[in-house]
Amino acid sequence: MVYSNAGICTSQCTIQNTIDFVGVGLHNGEAVTMRLHPAAPNTGVYFVRTDVVPQQGVIQANWHNVVDTSMCTVLGNEHGVTLATVEHLLAALRGCGVDNVLIEISGAEVPILDGSAAPVVAIIKRTGIVAQRVPRFGIWIERPIEVQQGERYASLTPDVVSQITVDIDFTNPVIGSQCLSVEITDELFEREIAPARTFGFADEVEALRSQGLALGASRRNAIVIDNAEVVNEEGLRFGDEFARHKVLDCLGDLALAGAPVFGHLFAHKPGHRLNNALLRELFAHPDAWSRVEYSEVAARRAKLEQSARRELPDAAADI
Ligand SMILES: [Zn+2]
């Protein structure tokens, strides 16, 4: 995807200063403190659980460390230490163009805050983002990759713009069918995607709680749907907030590629398991992607556009 500053800032970026958050986990309901630290170039994103034995709490934000995707994206390390619900935070970092950051956290789940990425984006923007004078790299999609899981389907294809398209279809009439395609740029992400909240159904809460899930869920951190109604007093932030939140989830999960992805992610009925399977499929095929320096992206896009034009049959080109 194109992240903040993509096409403008060709250097890796980190945050200007340390940032503190307090909040509760959506699923475990536990209060945690989270501290984001600036990190050196080429660090990437690392989590450190401060409530476990020192040296055992380090978890790299990477697709191969995903250990569970049933309700959220959970990362884990070789010591069996895990961290849940990383996707919204990772989307915020990617959306703001933060490449390198070290995140200390005092519990097993990232705080849900208001259920969206907006609070993290607002604080990162206030704190500032600094360029680190080291070339920035992304992942260029060379050829289509796809995965299918029952009704669910996702693909990554080469594209001259970086975008995410989601297509959702719920029987609940509040959500229904929604399809949304968004070019992921700094501005669009902050305005159109970051504020979209996670959502859940009131009639599923008891069942989830009996499994130790959704213990921290409330109207303050999720859109709650009861039958055919949104019960949050303030209503929806966008008419299609559900599809927008799915774009947010996709961006966060895709951030686990370890670098910005240049291409088009399409997902029909997306989910964390599907998103992780797509990355596993991508990295299982070295010919499907290449590492690209940001300074080369404009030239690659121009070349792709040219070859796409060449491939258009004459009749189509005349239209
Ligand atoms: Zn989410």
pLDDT tens, position by position, 83-98: 999 999 999 999 999 9
Ramachandran angles phi, psi of 229, nearest 5° = -135, 145
Confidence of residue 313 (pLDDT cuts 50, 70, 90): low
Residue 40 confidence (pLDDT) above 90: yes
Confidence of residue 3 (pLDDT cuts 50, 70, 90): very low
Q: Write down the pLDDT at residue 8.
A: 59
DSSP 192-253: IITTPPPEEEHHHHHHHHHTT-STT--TTTSEEEETTEE--TT--SSTTHHHHHHHHHHHHH
As given in the structure block, the two tokens for residue 209 are: 């709680």
CB-CB contact of 95 with 121 (8 Å)? yes
What the chain holds in terms of domains, given with CATH numbers, is 11-308 (3.30.1700.10)
Ligand 1 midpoint to CA 246 (Å): 7
**Rounded Cα–Cα distance for residues 253 and 87 (Å):** 6
Ligand 1 midpoint to CA 311 (Å): 38
What does pTM read for this prediction?
0.94
pLDDT tens, position by position, 138-172: 999 999 999 999 999 999 999 999 999 999 999 99
pLDDT tens, position by position, 166-211: 999 999 999 999 999 999 988 899 999 999 999 999 999 888 999 8
C-alpha dist (Å) from residue 82 to 85, 162, 170, 272: 10, 31, 31, 16
Ligand 1 midpoint to CA 252 (Å): 9
**Rounded Cα–Cα distance for residues 121 and 190 (Å):** 7
Enumerate the active-site residues: 272
List the alpha helices (DSSP H) in the chain: 87-96, 118-127, 186-188, 202-210, 241-254, 272-283, 294-311, 314-318
**Rounded Cα–Cα distance for residues 181 and 166 (Å):** 6
Per-chain residues with Cβ under 5 A from ion ligand 1: 198, 249
As given in the structure block, the two tokens for residue 63 are: 């697709």
pLDDT tens, position by position, 255-310: 999 999 999 999 999 999 999 999 999 999 999 999 999 999 999 999 999 988 88
Ligand 1 midpoint to CA 87 (Å): 7
Ligand 1 midpoint to CA 247 (Å): 9
Average pLDDT over residues 57-82: 97
